Amino acid sequence: MNNSAEWASCDPICRDAMKQLLTRHPVGPKHLLPPAPTEEQVCLAVAAALRAPDHQKLVPFRFVLIPDDARPLLGELFADSARRSGKTDDEIAIERDRAMPGPLLLAFVVRIENDHPRVPPHEQWLAAGGALSNFLTALHVMGFGAKMLSGRKAADPAICNAFCGSGETLVGWIAAGTASQAPHPRENDNPDAILRRWQPPQGLQDASQS
């Protein structure tokens, strides 16, 4: 199946939508410049996140906007985590600076109910992943670049405590803004590699014929 040929033949609205979906790409914080998405645009991206498939509508995720004037404090948390893990002064300074690039920064937090009677944890994680994907794609559709980042510091207890309540997991941070350069060319994705027709196991076929 040639996906670009398939979507090129549909109507203009469908074609534009498919083009957006098929061209989303990550843009790292170093390549993100102002303007950042406005709060209204962030709200729209969150609304798109809420449209992701979510069994029983548990909404097991949330986004946390990090105000610009709180970035230095976040940088100190990053630096402190690096210091505790035995990094050199230069490495600590690099970690401190990681709180600064990208005109908009949000944390992404997930809350999984391990004992939910109907929705197992893997379905809740998938709902959170779908939400993250919709959020990033919505920013792309609105003309912004973004990238999800985590690293070991996302598991640092002091950093987690600064973002999470009890039972929550800090997944990481989303940097967003306006891409300063065109995306690197990327190999075509290959849907055929992951799309297969189901072959019922032979035993099932034999049973249905007997």
Ligand X SMILES: Cc1cc2nc3c(=O)[nH]c(=O)nc-3n(C[C@H](O)[C@H](O)[C@H](O)COP(=O)(O)O)c2cc1C
The helices-and-strands tally (H runs, E runs) of the chain is 8, 5
User: Binding segment for ligand X among 54-62, 119-127, 146-154, 193-201 (CB under 6 A)?
Assistant: 146-154
Nearest to 81 by CA among 175, 160, 193: 160
Provide the β-strand partners of residue 174: 106, 148
- Contact between 64 and ligand X (CB under 6 A)? no
Closest contact distance (angstroms) between CB of 30 and ligand X is: 11
- Contact between 71 and ligand X (CB under 6 A)? no
SS3 label, residue 64: strand
CB 22 within 8 A of CB 188: no
Quick one: tokens of 189? 């994705």
Nearer to ligand X, 36 or 146 (CB): 146
Nearer to ligand X, 180 or 205 (CB): 180
Nearer to ligand X, 72 or 151 (CB): 151
**Structure-token match 């990238």, residue found:** 147
Nearer to ligand X, 25 or 87 (CB): 25
User: Binding segment for ligand X among 35-43, 44-52, 57-65, 149-157 (CB under 6 A)?
Assistant: 149-157
Question: Could you tell me where the beta strands, DSSP code E, fall in 53-167?
Answer: 61-65, 104-111, 145-149
Nearer to ligand X, 42 or 149 (CB): 149
Restricted to residues 163-202, the positions that interact with ligand X (CB under 6 A) are 171-172
Q: Which of 62, 140, 147, 153 binds ligand X (CB under 6 A)?
A: 147
CB 87 within 8 A of CB 151: no
Nearer to ligand X, 29 or 36 (CB): 29
User: Binding segment for ligand X among 51-59, 74-82, 144-152, 189-197 (CB under 6 A)?
Assistant: 144-152
User: Would you give the end-to-end CA distance of the chain in angstroms?
Assistant: 36
Cα separation, 22 vs 182, in Å, equals 15
User: Binding segment for ligand X among 32-40, 85-93, 95-103, 145-153 (CB under 6 A)?
Assistant: 145-153
Cα separation, 70 vs 206, in Å, equals 65
Chain residues binding ligand X by CB under 6 A are 25-26, 147-151, 171-172
